[in-house]
């Protein structure tokens, strides 16, 4: 099972956090900081698996992460998941984001947090993998966008709204 | 065209985010956020009804603020309102907010549940998926109660859309995890299993997670999934890379699903059906063959996906552990990976090989890679990988390579990362002991360990070396010589001083013949370290000195002078002062004979499981040390004359445990030592002493007192025994999983219990402590077995002294024989007069049927076979109950071990579950029992439940055990 999915940038600013187990808000923030600390100090060509930290503490959990340009994608999983399988999943997630946002960059994640959550929700649900087929995921996201488009005219709001 | 066009976001939101990003300081950011929160709050509270768009925008802002790490304490109601919108965008953002921010706020949950109910029945697949997602994300018990019945129906209905099916499968899984008691699969089982055959690979992907989890919990009901999984796997493995179209990932057909199928198969033993098994072996061979084919792509994703399947296939081969041919191929494949340029593969290969090393078919094959692994330990740049290499060396160690491996681990320790040093130390200590052929090597290794990594050598490790030296007289001289040499180093670790003090105090005479290590030289060497040491070590050294006086009378004047000096005899530390005073007195007034008796060499420690192994197990967490290994540890420990937990307690020297201020009589471990008890014992410490872990001296002392006291007949008290105390059942429950502790305490009296059981016999020591300063007179105790218990249990009470002085403690021995299975507990009545008033109380004696358990180790296969054999309804007792304590795995394990059964590791396919096996020994018969405890650890605290199932060849036993245990968790 996937326990948590975290995305943060090279400076440790969180860009997405999704916990599939309940923690208090403080603990969540602490986990993000600690995970960043653990992951960011590692060299580029060491392995992508890591034990240690609060999410791991005493259990059989592992951190599996990938570093893309300015962003770290970190999945915390238990021993029932294949390590390499999760690396593939991260790749699928990133490729999907790339297709959906057309050359995804950190800014897309910042300004479209809700979209990123939606895309993730098409892949992972309650900590388990729902779909791994990128085209299928994109089809679903597309359908949602169409629905959204068809509704936008209802709340036209050209005015300067804050 | 991109699926998300960048222009159509919400302008207000974008502006807000830009503002935040432009903030120059944290303070500015907080200020901006607070301003925005105030704005949103006023908008939500304002009179003007907000339109859907505004609500959506503000909720998005709140989400963003939450992500930055700020508490959001409002907006929940607005989000819930969005759920009932019939616009997709609004509904969707409402659900998003709830799944990110709502956990189990019970009032809101009811409203949310209403919205979900509407969406589930809307027949709009998009809305249904949103609702299912929300259930899966929140997953509270209220949701399970509301929807656990509905979701299986959606999952298997013929007209459900594929995407909804996928969501329903995972949603059901989540509910099953949080509230297994509410998800009743019964009628759906077969249809769920058949989802493995679904046309749509996405449905299979989602369903397999559900089926795997259900199979782990109910292997019997779901076993038909094995043949379906094998045929699905076979179709994927043999398909060309283009057959599966979109599910082909970098030229590898459906890698994720293949991995999951292989995982599912790991929940079961090898298929019994020959055809199915043949097909599976074929699949596994194909996967191994493909690893040798040239890659279809140079991309790392291609090899990743391919190897993900390969590692799972190898894991399955190791799990079956029955096909020597495949095992050797797996081992060779892993051997190749050990030298691969990808760090990930080296890491995983080391990890898989660890499990392979415990298979009898491949242990030898694994050993051939020793040089590569040692090299990895030395040269890998990544500590994760080095850690795995150390684990593997530990796993592949046996008699043939122990010396090499221990030497390599020792030399690695000098430069090892701090994070793994303590574990390395434990491992070296265990290997050195386990494979010690000559004990001089063992002593050398441990002393080296202390020299190299003294700070990481825990008490268990140095206790253990002392236990072993005391139990093996062939190594004592060597140990004394080696430790003497080690102490000559200008700076040596305090742990070395402790070991040195203890060993020289016991066996210094063995090297005293050499003028270079004459008694005075030994003493001066030890004393030169004294001032640099902490209080507990100094206390230990003082005890070594008094032992020296006995060993070498010529050192007496020197040592007495040391003891007499102000820094000892007036030391501000009470423990040190007490020792100095008592030892000085002892050495001046006791005759040589008395001294020799009191300060006699320590008796051998009784055999017990290595405490180091237990420590490593605790450190590594669940499953790290296999049952097999523990078993082996025990066996080896036996050979070695393995010794008790700590030499510290009740031994002359080790009484350095400053937290237990014991009177001198206990310090010396010999209550018969009359001259010493001249020091008045304080009441408090006597009571404390009883409850410290049992050392070997206590039972011996018990026997002593017994003989001494038996002359005093119990006086007769005419009053009838009082009825049992209302809390006596509760008191009894405390002792189901442990044998020692305080049974009862009030203002006058404290009763401590220590008990031990073997086969169908038990011996219990009761310690009655008088907490007052007034004596108890006419102190009598009786035990009765009401009703049928009389014919089930034979309880004999040794007499007890009728007079208990104020502040004193008396001990009573009870012998117990279990004739046949029983349910009730015997009653213990205590009567005495305190200041003229008769005290009369009745307790239950903490004897339950589980005390007569003999642990039984068995393999997973045997366990489930026996489980099946005991399938008649009356042979099973089951209880589902709320957790009373936190679900701490280690605590649970300790309790289950305390129950007396064997805790079987890696037997239950679900690692969260616990299974145990044992045989109850009674005079009339033996009763086999199997136990399974299933926690739903994922649930929120307060909603955590257990399902406890007991099966036993005798129906009353299962029932009774179930009652006893249900109170323990």
Query: Residue A120: its pLDDT value, please?
Result: 93
Report d(CA B252, CA B246) in Å as an integer: 11
Q: Is the sign of the CA dihedral A107, A113, A115, A120 positive or negative?
A: positive
**pLDDT at residue B681 in the model:** 37
Question: Choosing among A66, A82, A142, A160, which should be mutated to test the B contact, i.e. which has the most B CBs within 10 A?
Answer: A82
- What ipTM, to 2 d.p.? 0.91
Instruction: Tell me the per-residue pLDDT of B745-770, one tens digit each, with 9 for 90 and over.
Output: 888 888 888 888 888 888 888 888 88
* Residue B11 labelled as part of a binding site: yes
CA torsion sign for B647, B649, B651, B656 is: positive
> What's the pLDDT at B526?
92
C-alpha span between B674 and B679 (Å, rounded): 10
Residue B784 forms contact with A (CB below 8 Å): no
Confidence of residue A57 (pLDDT cuts 50, 70, 90): low
Q: Looking at domain A2-156, which of 3.60.21.10, 3.40.1400.10, 3.30.450.60, 2.60.60.20 is its CATH number?
A: 3.30.450.60
pLDDT at B808 over 90: no
Name the minimum distance, in Å, from the CA of B362 to any CA of chain A. 23
Query: According to the model, what pLDDT value does residue B279 have?
Result: 94
For residue B648, what pLDDT is reported?
41
A101 in contact with B, Cβ within 8 Å: yes
- Write the secondary structure of B245-302 as one string of H (helix), E (strand) and C (coil): HHHEECCEECHHHHHHHHHHHCCCCCCCCHHHHHHHHHHHHHHHHHHHCCCCCCCHHH
Chain B interface mutation, best of A47, A64, A149, highest count of B Cβ atoms under 10 Å:
A47
Counted across chains A and B, CB pairs separated by less than 8 A come out at 212
pLDDT given for residue B709 in this prediction: 33
pLDDT surpassing 60 at residue B668: no
Q: In whole angstroms, give the CA distance from residue B185 to residue B204.
A: 18
Q: Which residue has the higher pLDDT, B384 or B279?
A: B279
Residue B623 has pLDDT above 80, yes or no: no
- pLDDT in the model for residue B352: 92
Beta-strand relationship, B926-935 and B793-797? unpaired
Asked if B249's CB is within 8 angstroms of A88's CB, the reply is yes
Task: List pLDDT tens digits, range B96-111.
Answer: 888 877 765 567 888 8
d(CA B199, CA B755): 63
Helix (H) or strand (E) holding B810: strand B809-818
H or E element that contains B467: helix B459-471
Do the beta carbons of residue B530 and residue B541 sit within 8 Å? yes
Residue B43 in marked binding region: yes
Q: How far apart are CA B690 and CA B694, in angstroms?
A: 8
- pLDDT over 80 (residue B238): yes
β partners of residue B784: B827
Ranges B44-48, B189-193, B937-941, most confident: B189-193
| B328-364: burial string, b at 16+ Cβ within 10 Å, e else | bbbbebbbebbeeebbbbbbbbbbbbbbbbbbebbbe
What integer pLDDT is reported at residue B34 of this predicted model? 92
Q: Phi, psi (5° rounding) for residue B830?
A: -125, 130
Say what the pLDDT of residue B406 is. Answer: 93
A20, A138, A151 ranked by CB distance to B88: nearest: A151
pTM: 0.64
Would you call A44 an interface residue with chain B, using a CB distance cutoff of 8 Å?
no
The minimal CB distance from B344 to the residues A49, A125, A127 is found for: A49
Per-residue model confidence as pLDDT tens digits over A17-39: 898 888 888 888 888 999 999 89
Q: How many helices (H) and strands (E) would you count in chain A?
A: 5, 7
% chain B with pLDDT above 70: 87
- Let me know if A95 is exposed, middle or buried by CB neighbors in 10 A (0-12, 13-18, 19+): middle
Q: Is B31 on the interface with A (CB under 8 A)?
A: no
| Range in B147-151, B285-289, B614-618, B897-901 the model is least confident about | B614-618
What pLDDT is stored for residue B46 in this prediction? Answer: 77
**Residue-by-residue DSSP string for B50-96:** PPHHHHHHHHHHHHHHHHTT----S-HHHHHHHHT-SSHHHHHHHHH
Give me the mean pLDDT over the B598-611 stretch: 76
Please report residues of B whose CB lies closer than 8 A to that of A121.
Answer: 133
pLDDT tens per residue across span A66-116: 999 899 999 999 989 999 999 999 999 999 999 999 888 898 888 888 889
**Do the chains contact at A85 and B308, CB–CB below 8 Å?**
yes
Note the residue count of chain A: 162
Lowest mean pLDDT among B573-582, B593-602, B677-686, B897-906: B677-686
| Interval B522-530 mean pLDDT | 92
Q: What is the pLDDT of residue B926?
A: 84
pLDDT of residue B889: 81
- By the 8 A CB rule, do B966 and B881 touch? yes
Determine the straight-line distance between the first and last CA of chain A, rounded to whole angstroms. Answer: 40
């Amino acid at each position: 099972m996937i326990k948590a999915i975290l995305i943060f940038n090279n400076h440790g600013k969180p860009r997405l956090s999704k916990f599939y187990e309940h923690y208090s808000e403080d603990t969540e923030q602490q986990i993000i900081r600690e995970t960043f600390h653990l992951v960011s100090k590692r060299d580029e060509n060491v392995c992508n698996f890591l034990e240690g930290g609060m999410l791991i503490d005493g259990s059989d959990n592992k951190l599996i992460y990938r570093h893309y340009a300015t962003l770290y994608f970190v999945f915390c999983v238990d021993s029932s998941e294949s390590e390499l399988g999760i690396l593939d999943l991260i790749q699928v997630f990133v490729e999907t984001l790339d297709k959906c946002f057309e050359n995804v960059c950190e800014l897309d994640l910042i300004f479209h947090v809700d979209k990123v959550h939606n895309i993730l929700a098409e892949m992972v649900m309650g900590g388990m993998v729902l779909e791994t087929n990128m085209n299928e995921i994109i089809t679903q996201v597309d359908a949602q966008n169409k629905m959204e488009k068809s509704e936008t005219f209802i709340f036209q709001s050209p005015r300067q709204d804050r | 065209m991109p699926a998300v066009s960048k222009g159509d976001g919400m302008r207000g939101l974008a502006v807000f985010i830009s503002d935040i990003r432009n903030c120059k300081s944290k303070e500015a950011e907080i200020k901006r956020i607070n301003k925005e929160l105030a704005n949103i709050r006023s908008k939500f509270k304002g009179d003007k009804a907000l339109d859907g768009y505004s609500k959506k925008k503000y909720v998005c802002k709140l989400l963003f603020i939450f992500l930055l790490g700020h508490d959001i304490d409002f907006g929940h109601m607005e989000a819930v309102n969005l759920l009932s919108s019939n616009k997709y965008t609004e509904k969707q953002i409402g659900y998003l907010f709830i799944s990110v921010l709502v956990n189990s706020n019970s009032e809101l949950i009811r409203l949310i549940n209403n919205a979900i109910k509407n969406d589930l029945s809307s027949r709009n697949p998009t809305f249904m998926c949103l609702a299912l997602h929300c259930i899966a994300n929140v997953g509270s018990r209220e949701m399970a109660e509301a929807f656990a019945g509905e979701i299986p129906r959606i999952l298997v209905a013929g007209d459900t859309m594929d995407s909804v099916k996928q969501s329903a499968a995972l949603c059901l899984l989540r509910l099953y995890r949080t509230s297994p008691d509410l998800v009743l699969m019964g009628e759906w089982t077969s249809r769920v299993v058949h989802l493995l055959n679904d046309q749509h690979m996405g449905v299979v992907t989602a369903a397999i997670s559900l089926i795997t989890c259900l199979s782990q919990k109910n292997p019997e009901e779901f076993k038909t999934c094995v043949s379906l999984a094998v045929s699905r796997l076979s179709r994927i493995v043999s398909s060309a890379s283009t057959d599966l179209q979109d599910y082909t990932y970098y030229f590898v057909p459906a890698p994720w699903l293949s991995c999951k199928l292989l995982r599912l198969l790991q929940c079961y033993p090898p298929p019994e059906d020959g055809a199915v098994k043949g097909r599976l072996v074929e699949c596994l061979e194909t996967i191994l063959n493909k690893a040798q084919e040239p890659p279809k792509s140079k991309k790392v994703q291609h090899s990743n996906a391919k190897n993900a399947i390969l590692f799972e296939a190898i894991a399955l081969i190791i799990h079956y552990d029955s096909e020597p041919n495949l095992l050797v191929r797996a081992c060779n494949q892993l051997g190749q990976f050990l030298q691969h340029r990808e760090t990930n593969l080296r890491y995983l290969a080391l990890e898989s090989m660890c499990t392979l090393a415990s298979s009898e078919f491949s242990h030898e094959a694994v050993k051939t890679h020793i040089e590569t692994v040692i090299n990895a330990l030395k040269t890998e740049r990544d500590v994760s990988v080095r850690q795995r290499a150390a684990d593997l060396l530990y796993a592949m160690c046996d008699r043939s390579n122990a010396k090499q491996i221990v030497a390599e681990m020792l030399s690695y320790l000098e430069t090892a990362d701090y994070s793994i040093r303590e574990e390395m130390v434990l491992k070296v200590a265990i290997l050195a002991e386990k494979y010690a052929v000559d004990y001089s090597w063992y002593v050398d290794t441990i002393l080296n360990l202390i020299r190299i990594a003294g700070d990481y050598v825990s008490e268990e490790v140095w206790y253990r070396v002392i236990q072993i030296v005391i139990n093996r007289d062939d190594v004592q001289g060597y140990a004394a010589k080696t430790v003497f040499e080690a102490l000559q180093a200008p700076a040596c670790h305090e742990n070395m001083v402790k070991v040195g003090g203890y060993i020289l105090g016991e066996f210094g005479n063995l090297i005293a013949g050499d003028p270079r290590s004459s008694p005075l030289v030994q003493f001066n060497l030890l004393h030169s370290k004294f001032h640099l040491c902490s209080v507990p070590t100094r206390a230990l050294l003082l005890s070594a000195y008094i032992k020296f006086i006995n060993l070498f009378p010529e050192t007496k004047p020197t040592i007495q002078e040391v003891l007499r000096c102000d820094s000892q005899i007036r030391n501000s530390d009470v423990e040190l002062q007490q020792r100095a005073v008592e030892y000085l007195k002892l050495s001046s007034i006791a005759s040589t004979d008395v001294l020799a008796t009191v300060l006699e060499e320590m008796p051998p420690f009784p055999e017990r499981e290595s405490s180091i192994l237990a420590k490593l197990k605790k450190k590594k967490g669940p499953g790290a040390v296999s049952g097999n290994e523990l078993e082996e540890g025990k066996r080896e420990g036996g050979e070695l004359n393995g010794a008790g937990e700590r030499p510290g307690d009740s031994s002359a020297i080790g009484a350095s445990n400053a937290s237990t201020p014991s009177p001198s009589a206990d310090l010396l471990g010999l209550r018969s030592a009359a001259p010493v008890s001249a020091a008045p014992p304080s009441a408090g410490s006597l009571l404390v002493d009883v409850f410290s872990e049992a050392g070997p001296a206590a039972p011996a002392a018990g026997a002593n007192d017994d003989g001494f006291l038996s002359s005093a007949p119990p006086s007769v008290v005419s009053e009838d025994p009082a009825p049992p105390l209302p809390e006596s059942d509760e008191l009894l429950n405390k002792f189901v999983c442990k044998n020692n502790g305080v049974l009862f305490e009030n203002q006058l009296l404290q009763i401590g219990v220590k008990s031990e059981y073997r086969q169908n016999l038990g011996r219990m020591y009761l310690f009655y402590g008088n907490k007052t300063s007034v004596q108890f007179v006419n102190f009598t105790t009786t035990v009765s077995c009401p009703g049928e218990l009389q014919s089930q249990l034979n309880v004999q009470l040794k007499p007890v002294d009728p007079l208990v002085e104020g502040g004193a403690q008396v001990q009573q021995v009870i012998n117990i024989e279990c004739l046949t299975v029983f349910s009730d507990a015997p009653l213990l009545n205590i009567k005495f007069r305190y200041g003229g008033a008769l005290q009369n109380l009745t307790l239950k004696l903490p004897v339950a049927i589980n005390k007569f358990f003999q642990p039984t180790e068995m393999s997973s296969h045997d366990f489930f076979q026996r489980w099946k054999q005991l399938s008649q309804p009356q042979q099973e007792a089951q209880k589902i109950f709320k957790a009373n304590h936190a679900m701490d795995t280690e605590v649970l394990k300790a309790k289950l071990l305390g129950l007396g059964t064997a805790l079987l590791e890696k037997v239950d396919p679900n690692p969260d579950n616990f299974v145990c096996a044992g045989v109850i020994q009674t005079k009339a018969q033996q009763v086999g029992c199997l136990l399974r405890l299933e926690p739903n650890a994922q649930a929120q605290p307060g909603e955590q439940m257990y399902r406890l199932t007991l099966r036993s060849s005798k129906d009353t036993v299962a029932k009774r055990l179930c009652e006893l245990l249900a109170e323990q968790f």
